[in-house]
């Protein structure tokens, strides 16, 4: 157990559920200074590791299950419960609390998963706002629009400590920067989906794929190497070799794959010959439909002509 624990009673991962009355009305920058320290000596120590909603990102899941030395299915079964992310139809998971409503990793001495604690735990009490989807073109702009805020809840005595930090130092100390880097593209997918509102729904197949790629990288790796994935997508051979062993590279590839397959981006381009084959298949289907429509029309026409001829015959017969 290390000196600090960073629990929280509000979900801050996507910055949407923090009680506004606890948010200090000041926009902070990376150079703003805050006074805060969480350590075993505070009277509230670990008090806030309960009755919380800790959404897990793919990076959180990877790190926690490595820490616990568990395969993804065991980890998910033992420590998580499913939930929809950010009121979208994207399925994800959050930490399963004990019957007493406590985080399964908390003990009176602090967090037993401290070095691998989730992103949400690392953020507290500094939230980040105006999180923008980043692309190469507007990366600088997105960074410019970022700002930070402090969450001060009455029960949290860490704010009464004298230790002073800049936001930059605090984030670095808590490993938030690394989490941001690892989570950014995945969170952008969720926010993008959210921006669509209820206008469209993800198919069950798409939901299953999103869940699998987000929670079980071993299974996603099998999907890559044992399905038609490699024949379908343009993927650099070196990257392909790397993802056999490198989970982080695999996780980043999964984000690109999800962006392409769910939102039709070009993050992971489809091979030209596949597009050509698909176009030919569609063309053939269209030709078949036209051919069928033509023969159906001819059949109907013949039927109608026969009927008319029959009626005419009847009329002429006295």
Binding site for ligand SF4 (CB under 6 A): 5-7, 38, 42, 44-49, 54, 103, 105-106, 111, 113, 117-118, 121, 124, 155-158
Between residues 45 and 220, which has the closer beta carbon with respect to ligand SF4?
45
List of residues 6+ apart from 91 with CB closer than 8 A: 82, 83, 84, 85, 207, 210, 211
Q: Looking up tokens 């039709």, which residue turns up?
A: 264
Q: Please say whether the beta carbons of 40 and 184 come within 8 A.
A: no
CA dihedral 55, 70, 1, 160 (to 10 degrees): 0
Q: How far is the CB of 74 from ligand SF4 (least distance, A)?
A: 18
Q: How far is the CB of 217 from ligand SF4 (least distance, A)?
A: 20
Q: How far is the CB of 177 from ligand SF4 (least distance, A)?
A: 18
Q: Return the structure tokens found at 303.
A: 């039927």
- Rounded Cα distance between 94 and 53, Å, is 7
Q: How far is the CB of 110 from ligand SF4 (least distance, A)?
A: 7
Phi–psi pair at 316, nearest 5 degrees: -75, -20
Q: Is 82 left (phi over 0), alpha (psi -120 to 50) or beta?
A: beta
Q: How far is the CB of 134 from ligand SF4 (least distance, A)?
A: 27
Between residues 183 and 254, which has the closer beta carbon with respect to ligand SF4?
183
Between residues 92 and 259, which has the closer beta carbon with respect to ligand SF4?
92
Between residues 116 and 166, which has the closer beta carbon with respect to ligand SF4?
116
Q: How far is the CB of 102 from ligand SF4 (least distance, A)?
A: 8
- Rounded Cα distance between 6 and 42, Å, is 12
Between residues 74 and 290, which has the closer beta carbon with respect to ligand SF4?
74
Between residues 156 and 176, which has the closer beta carbon with respect to ligand SF4?
156
Q: How many other CB atoms are there within 10 angstroms of residue 88's CB atom? A: 20
- Rounded Cα distance between 251 and 72, Å, is 14
């Amino acid at each position: 157990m290390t000196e600090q624990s960073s629990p929280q009673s509000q979900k801050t991962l996507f910055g949407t559920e923090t009680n506004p009355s606890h948010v200090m009305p000041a926009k902070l920058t990376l150079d703003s200074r805050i006074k805060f320290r969480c350590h075993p000596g505070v009277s509230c120590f670990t008090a806030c590791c309960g009755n919380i909603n800790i959404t897990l990102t793919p990076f959180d899941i990877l790190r926690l299950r490595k820490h616990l030395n568990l395969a993804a299915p065991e980890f998910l079964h033992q420590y998580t419960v499913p939930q929809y992310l950010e009121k979208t139809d994207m399925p994800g998971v959050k930490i399963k609390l004990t019957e007493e409503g406590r985080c399964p990793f908390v003990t009176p001495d602090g967090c037993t998963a401290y070095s691998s604690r989730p992103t949400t735990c690392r953020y507290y009490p500094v939230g980040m706002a105006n999180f923008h989807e980043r692309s190469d073109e507007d990366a600088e702009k997105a960074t410019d629009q970022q700002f930070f805020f402090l969450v001060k809840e009455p029960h949290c005595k860490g704010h009464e400590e004298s230790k002073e930090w800049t936001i930059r130092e605090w984030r670095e100390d808590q490993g938030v920067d690394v989490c941001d880097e690892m989570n950014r593209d995945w969170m952008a997918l969720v926010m993008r989906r959210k921006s669509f509102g209820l206008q469209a729904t993800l198919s069950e197949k798409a939901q299953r794929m999103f869940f699998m790629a987000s929670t079980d990288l071993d299974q996603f790796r099998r999907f890559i190497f044992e399905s038609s994935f490699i024949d379908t997508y343009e993927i650099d051979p070196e990257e392909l070799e790397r993802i056999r062993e490198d989970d982080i590279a695999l996780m980043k590839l999964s984000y690109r794959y999800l962006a392409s397959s769910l939102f039709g981006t070009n993050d992971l381009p489809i091979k030209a010959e596949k597009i050509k084959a698909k176009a030919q298949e569609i063309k053939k289907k269209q030709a078949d439909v036209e051919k069928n429509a033509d023969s159906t029309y001819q059949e109907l026409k013949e039927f109608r002509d026969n009927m008319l001829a029959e009626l005419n015959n009847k009329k002429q017969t006295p």
